[in-house]
Structure 1
Amino acid sequence: MERKRSDIIAEELEGLILGGVFTPGERLDEVQLADRFAVSRTPLREAFHRLALSGLVEHIPHRGTFVRQPGPVELIEMFEVMAELEATCARLAAARITDEALDDMRATNARCLAAVEAADHDGYYHENERFHAILYRQSGNGFLEGECLRLHKRLMPFRRMQLRLRGRLRQSMSEHEAIVEALQRGAADEAAEALRAHVAVQGEKFHHLMAGLKQAAE
């Protein structure tokens, strides 16, 4: 499936913001960016909207769109909630997941592994999104799935950033395999704990994530 131009622009802007090219408080110039990406303002504004959902920009009426980044407390709180929501998905999915969905998760893991071997961080991330989307759906709870998808979008740039930490791709891949194995056995508590540990940003992971944001801000 061909990706929308606005999604590609959003990811490029995300990298520029997290890389420090655009700094917190800076106004994003629509005219300059439309020229830079050779697009009309429509896909650019769609990209701004996606970034706003992630909290990386803020639109102020009659003033424009400005760069912002969540502080450490806000970020850790969001990851804590995400970890618990996904753990609940895993607990429910352990009893409800279909054989077809398990096959889909294994196929996604195979593509994740290929991305790991190729050191393709973006490729891994997109397959990782599919992996988690299958899990949300297999919880069998539409409301929970919707909440997970909303918060997943909010945290997208930061989940992508942590995958660039040295050794994180292989670690994430190993965690995916443990999750599928627990779901296969119907081990609800084990699957929930595996998801919680996979998503939570604590200890060294949080330290590196915040260091990356600090460098971007500087």
Structure 2
Amino acid sequence: MPASQVIPHPTIALLRTESLSTAAQQEIERMILAGEIAPGAKLTEAWLSERLGISRGPIREAFRMLEEAGLVRQEKNRGVFVRDIPLDEAVEIYDLRAVMDELIGRRLATSITPEQLKKVRATVDRMEATARTGDVDGYHLLNLQFHDALVEFAGNRKLAAIYRKLVKELALFRRRNLNDRGVLPHSVAEHRQILKAIASGDAEAAGRAMYEHAIESKERMLKGAATGSAPARARAGRKG
């Protein structure tokens, strides 16, 4: 039988499909978090199949994984849509995240290594440089990297899994919250304070800095909604 006609073993075929599904899920997630696909946008198998150069089967599986991650919703007879997080849900996520951030800060103050601290400091340096240019999208991605590194270095896999899911859901709302370039310098200062507290080895100070950063971010979000932010008002009355 010619090589081109060889039928792969079912296990190999399954692994290929799972690998493609994971790759598709990661790329679609990247596009969503980077703002290339907006909250509320409809995702179609045909468009993504052409965009990613793969068949529709892995795309369907990727949709399932993205729904589990809280980034998309599937509506019967309508299709798949990027979730648009409502204001009340964003508030709940911030409150839960604040408690988790406090735990992360406390753990890191007594366990972070010099090499890990160096990596986090380098990320904050890039955040500051990006803030000076007013690059909101670039800053948003670096901010995600900063917090992801901290939860990774905290060394609790269950905590990391739950935290990352919440952060990704919140990113659907929060990247718009950072669209005001005037917020960026203040955000950089908060991250510098977090870094300083963790480096000091003071668990209470590090936990407090992390907690206050999350709460202040929530307050900025609520202030934006109260002062007439159109995106925030629109989401306040919608369920994701």
TM-score by length of 1: 0.77
**CA offset at residue 99 of structure 1?**
0.7
Shift of 1:140: 2.7
Check 1:76–1:195 CA distance in 2 against 1; reply closer, same or farther (3 A cut).
Answer: same
**Residues 94, 14 of structure 1: alpha-carbon distance in 2 compared, 3 angstrom cutoff:** same
Alpha-carbon shift at residue 111 of structure 1 (Å): 1.0
**Partner of 2:86 in structure 1?**
71
SS of residue matched to 1:17 = coil
- The aligned residue for residue 207 of structure 1 is 223
CA distance in 1, matches of 2:105, 2:33: 28
Deviation at 1:67, TM superposition (A): 5.7
- Report what 1:161 is aligned to: 176
Shift of 1:139: 1.8
Does the alignment pair 1:98 with 2:113? yes
- Residue pair 2:190, 2:213 contacting (<8 A) in 1 also: yes
Q: CA deviation at 1:11?
A: 4.2
Question: Within the alignment, does 1:136 sit opposite 2:151 as a pair?
Answer: yes
What residue number does 1:191 align with? 206
CA distance in 1, matches of 2:218, 2:33: 25
Q: CA deviation at 1:156?
A: 1.9
- What is the CA deviation profile of residues 67-107 of structure 1, one whole-angstrom value per residue up to 9, with x for unaligned ones? 65343322211111011111110011110111111111111
Q: Is the 8 A contact 2:124 2:188 kept in 1?
A: yes
Residue 128 of structure 2 corresponds to which residue in structure 1? 113
Q: CA RMSD for the aligned pairs? A: 3.2
Once the two structures are TM-superposed, the CA of residue 195 in structure 1 deviates from its matched residue by 1.1
Secondary structure of 1:103's counterpart equals helix
Q: 1:93 to 1:38 in 2, by over 3 A?
A: closer
Aligned counterparts of 2:144 and 2:184: Cα–Cα separation in 1: 14
Flag the structure with larger Rg: 2
Per-residue CA deviation, residues 91-145 of structure 1 (Å, 9 max, x unaligned), is 1111011111111111111111121112111211222122112211222322222
Equivalent in the alignment of 1:6: 28
Q: Identify if the C-alpha distance between structure 1 residues 208 and 107 changes in structure 2 by more than 3 Å, giving closer, same or farther.
A: same
Q: What aligned pairs does 1:20-59 form with structure 2 within 5 A after superposition? A: 22=41, 28-31=43-46, 41=56, 45=60, 48=63, 52=67, 55=70, 57-59=72-74
More moved, 163-172 vs 202-211: 202-211
Identity in percent: 31
Q: 5+ residue gaps in structure 2?
A: 1-23
State the Cα deviation string for residues 22-68 of structure 1 (Å, max 9, x = none). 5xxxx655446767x58554676577557635645311456522465
User: 1:181 and 2:196 equivalent?
Assistant: yes
Report how many aligned residue pairs link the two structures.
208
Q: Report the Cα distance in structure 2 between the residues aligned to 1:43 and 1:173, rounded to whole angstroms.
A: 39
- Which moved further from structure 2: 94-103 or 123-132? 123-132
Distance 1:215 1:103 in 2: 41
- Shift of residue 161, structure 1, vs aligned partner: 1.9
CA distance in 1, matches of 2:149, 2:34: 26
Taking structure 2 as the reference length, the TM-score comes to 0.71
